Amino acid sequence: MAVEGYFPPVDEERFSRDNVHFPEKSANSHDAWAWNCSIVDKQAKGGKLHRKTFALKDNVAVKDVPLLLGTNLFKDYVPNCDATVTNRILETGGQILGKAVYENMCHSATSHSSGTGIVESPFAKGYSAGGSSSGSGVLVALGEVDGAVGADQGGSTRVPAANCGMVGLKPTFGLVPYTGSGSNEPTNDHLGPITRTVLDNAIFLEAIAGIDNIDDRSFPAPHPSRLPAYSSILNLPEDQPLAGKCFADIKESLSAPALGSRVVKTSQVAVAKYVELGATVDEVSMTTHSKGAAIWTGVSKVGGFLAKISGSFGGRGHQILGLKSLLYPIGQHNQDETYAPTKNIYLNELYAVEKFQLLLAKGSITRIRTFKPKRSSSCFANRDAGGTGGSG
């Protein structure tokens, strides 16, 4: 324990932290800012994100800028390192304007639970902006930043992006390194971009993706210099731009419990648009789709609890030790002020660990095995398919 922990180095002369402050109410109309600052590369020479502005979900570390996790469990934690995504935004010319509010401990898909207050829809006062990356979606929608980083374990980037009318991406697992970001369950963590357009999203992804040689989630990812040019993929012909592309429309995705009729209609309209643009859309049956929520629960709840009570997990990577020391071990001393759904989650997790010891293993195996459609599909056979609809 006497050995000093590893902290990714920060060049504070090149990336100085300026004007760090808690936002004034008058400059925070939707309570979407958690903290404000101004950080830019003093040696900038252009780059993919040159002259673009960004906010980071407030589980992403920025050295010398407080981190709140959307909770009241602590108020004075200040990271001593930058997350990999923080550094990559700055190195590619972007300016970081602050931290975006997110829902309490990442435990809500609505926008009412943050310790700093309710985050309202940018377009309809009194309505939800979605969560848990609520502030990230709102700040992009309001035009206060060009892009924001979200974190997604079960929809937390995609839901606020959808509620706010923005583009939110949950990248392939590990494509964007998670180093320096607060984790929920390590095999379920994804950082991703929220932007106003698909093109901006692709450019943002090019800047932050690729292995960082620290986070083992990212080990299968290409080196940043060998990433595909995601933005170039969008250079499609104006006439029938999707000609030759094949998409799978998963039948079970439109029969989920509590699915609203307007959502079904919106999906059907999107499928029709794909066809109009030249694509082939093949409806397939994937019976395992309906079990997705149960599989996710087995991994997220049990795995998340085991990670929380130990303050660590079995993978290799950087641990935010200062933050973990404030949260763990779980006990009465740090749970009196816990958000009610968080208490519920912890109790459910504990029950699952005690009563279903093999649930995590079974969920993990089921999740990673290859899912095959019930009937043959040329889309799947040709391996260039995308699913429409979906969950989790």
Question: Does residue 38 have an active-site annotation?
Answer: no
* pLDDT for the residue numbered 300: 85
Cα 103 to Cα 78, 235, 264, 330: the distances in Å are: 19, 36, 27, 20
* pLDDT for the residue numbered 312: 63
Question: Does residue 156 have an active-site annotation?
Answer: yes
> Is 54 part of any domain?
yes
> Is 308 part of any domain?
no
* pLDDT for the residue numbered 4: 76
| CATH number of the domain within which 79 lies | 3.90.1300.10
> Is 366 part of any domain?
no
- pTM of the model as a whole: 0.92
> Is 321 part of any domain?
no
* pLDDT for the residue numbered 389: 46
Identify the segments of the chain with pLDDT beneath 70. Answer: 1, 310-314, 368-392
Q: Which of 121, 132, 253, 377 is catalytic?
A: 132
Which residue's entry shows tokens 């409806």? Answer: 283
Number of domains in the chain: 1
* pLDDT for the residue numbered 390: 40
> Is 355 part of any domain?
no
> Is 298 part of any domain?
no
* pLDDT for the residue numbered 373: 55
Q: Which of 111, 134, 156, 181 is catalytic?
A: 156
Cα 214 to Cα 1, 6, 140, 179: the distances in Å are: 21, 11, 29, 7
Segments forming the whole domain that contains residue 140:
18-235
> Is 193 part of any domain?
yes
| pLDDT tens digit sequence for 185-230 | 888 999 999 999 999 999 999 999 999 999 999 999 999 999 999 9
Question: Does residue 132 have an active-site annotation?
Answer: yes
Q: Dig out the tokens for 143 from the structure.
A: 């035009």
Q: Which of 52, 57, 63, 301 is catalytic?
A: 57
Q: Dig out the tokens for 30 from the structure.
A: 């939707």
Which residue's entry shows tokens 């641990």? Answer: 319
> Is 158 part of any domain?
yes
